[in-house]
């Protein structure tokens, strides 16, 4: 029995060491090289095949300098306003989300751009505690090994922006017939507006809700100042959504 337990223990720690070496090596490689494909992309292809649809996988990697500053600002303002200054997790946002979720049926997330990047590149969709545990580890890895610019570059190249559409360049070409470098504030805000649920919301056919979010993001960009400085931490721009006045 003791020999069996020793073998199990030996297998476990060897597996852990192998996982650590492999994950760190991949993270270092991805610090410079484009991400060829992500688990989510593969999952979506399998789902399309299972539904007897044509497999659609539109993606086109571009360098950080070839992505519009407008889009970088739009996703920061809408998804993670503390992106420049946090170390992967926005604990203030997490606390607020937990407080909100305890009082409302509709759940609110608090994932940062770093968390979304780690999930998209290394993991699978889901809300299990196991996946969340791996997410924490990979967020620590990329925040340690990558720059903020690299995290943003990867995020905007692999993020799902529609059915079978991934990354800023593919979205810019398909929806606006231009390269990602030339996206306007309005176009960037529209892309950012659908990111919470790109299979439900559409860039091509935006609903009134998406138009509302688009205008809100445009206002945030203006209040931010129009530029995103990765070298010097910036103050968080606090924007409060205006409540719609009820009709009398």
Domain ranges of the chain: 38-48+58-224
166 bridge partner residues: 59, 160
The segments of the chain whose pLDDT lies below 50 read 234-248
Q: Which pLDDT does position 106 carry in this prediction?
A: 64
Q: Which pLDDT does position 107 carry in this prediction?
A: 58
Torsion sign, CA atoms 230, 113, 168, 62: positive
Q: Which pLDDT does position 126 carry in this prediction?
A: 78
Question: pTM to 2 decimals?
Answer: 0.87
Architecture in CATH of 38-48+58-224 = Orthogonal Bundle (1.10)
CA distance 179 to 48: 27
Which residue in 198, 118, 189, 131 sits closest to 162, CA to CA? 198
Q: Do 64 and 149 contact (CB within 8 A), yes or no?
A: yes
CA 124 to chain centre: 13
Q: Which pLDDT does position 88 carry in this prediction?
A: 83
């Amino acid at each position: 029995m003791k020999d069996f337990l020793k073998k199990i223990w030996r297998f476990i720690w060897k597996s852990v060491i192998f996982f650590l070496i492999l994950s760190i090596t991949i993270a270092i490689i991805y610090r410079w090289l484009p991400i060829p494909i992500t688990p989510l992309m593969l999952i979506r292809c399998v789902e399309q095949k299972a539904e007897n649809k044509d497999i659609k996988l539109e993606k086109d990697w571009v360098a950080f300098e070839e992505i519009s500053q407008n889009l970088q600002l739009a996703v920061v303002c809408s998804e993670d306003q503390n992106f420049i200054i946090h170390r992967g997790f926005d604990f203030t946002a997490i606390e607020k989300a937990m407080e909100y979720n305890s009082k409302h049926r509709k759940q609110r997330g608090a994932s940062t751009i770093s968390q979304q990047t780690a999930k998209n590149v290394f993991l699978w969709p889901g809300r299990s505690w196991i996946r969340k545990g791996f997410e924490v580890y990979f967020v620590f890895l990329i925040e340690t090994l990558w720059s903020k610019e690299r995290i943003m570059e990867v995020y905007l190249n692999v993020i799902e922006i529609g059915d079978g559409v991934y990354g800023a360049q593919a979205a810019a070409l398909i929806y606006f017939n231009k390269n990602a470098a030339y996206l306007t504030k309005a176009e960037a805000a529209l892309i950012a507006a659908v990111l919470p649920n790109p299979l439900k919301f559409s860039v091509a056919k935006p609903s009134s809700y998406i138009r509302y979010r688009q205008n809100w993001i445009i206002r945030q960009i203006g209040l931010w100042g129009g530029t995103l400085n990765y070298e010097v931490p910036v103050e968080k721009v606090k924007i409060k959504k205006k409540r719609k006045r009820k009709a009398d």
